Amino acid sequence: MEISIGDKYVITADQYQYVLQERKAKKDGKNAGGEYLSTIGYYTKLPQLISRLCHLDVMTSDAQTLQAVEQRIARLSLEIESAFGR
């Protein structure tokens, strides 16, 4: 399983856990400019992962008002729903 959430996050899974990863660009070395996945965390239940994803996205945003936070969560919710094929 590999599910992209927007351009920034990826959810993968194996038989034991779900893994939340963030896409990042390599800054140096022979593969500079290439992409790699950085693991954020491991979760036994999908709702735990989604909760962490929402929290992380809001905390790293530049939102300055509650309205901006609400809009950020709404956008992320749509991305998650789209990624899961709803």
| Burial of residue 20 (number of CB atoms within 10 Å: 0-12, 13-18, 19+) | buried
Q: How far is CA 66 from the centre of its chain?
A: 21
% pLDDT > 70, the chain: 99
User: Which long-range contacts link 11-16 to residues 24+ away (Cβ below 8 Å)?
Assistant: 11/49, 11/83, 16/44
State the pTM of this model. Answer: 0.80
pLDDT band (50, 70, 90) for residue 86: low
pLDDT at 28: 78
Helix (H/G/I), strand (E/B), else coil: 33: coil
Residue pLDDT, tens place only, 19-57:
999 999 888 777 777 889 999 999 999 999 999 999 999
